[in-house]
Amino acid sequence: MTISERLATLSEDVRTTFHPDFIFLVHPDLVQHFPARQWQKEQFLEALASRLGPDYTLDVWEEKVIAISENKEIIAILPKYPSLHAFESE
């Protein structure tokens, strides 16, 4: 299953909770979220490295930046950023 296919299986309940003040972690069998209120880019980078490891890939899904762990097990969704440009230019 591709990353897009995995994310497409998220329930409508999960999708409606996406909010810029949180980071969402999508595991194969679990979705978690944690606060990221008023965070700057460096804080997001630290959180991603802590939760996904140092080697992850950034992409965009449905106008949200996502970070994909190297082994593709965990996907982080960052609703605050609608594009890679928005994330990189902060």
Domain range annotation of the chain: 3-88
Q: Tell me what the mean pLDDT of segment 72-87 comes to.
A: 97
Q: Are 83 and 65 in contact (CB under 8 A)?
A: yes
Q: Which residues contact 6 (CB under 8 A, 6 or more apart)?
A: 26, 75
Strands 30-35 and 75-78: unpaired
Q: Where are the alpha helices (DSSP H) in 1-90?
A: 3-8, 12-15, 41-52, 84-88
pLDDT tens digits for range 19-75? 999 999 999 999 999 999 999 999 999 999 999 999 999 999 999 999 999 999 999
Q: Are 77 and 64 in contact (CB under 8 A)?
A: yes
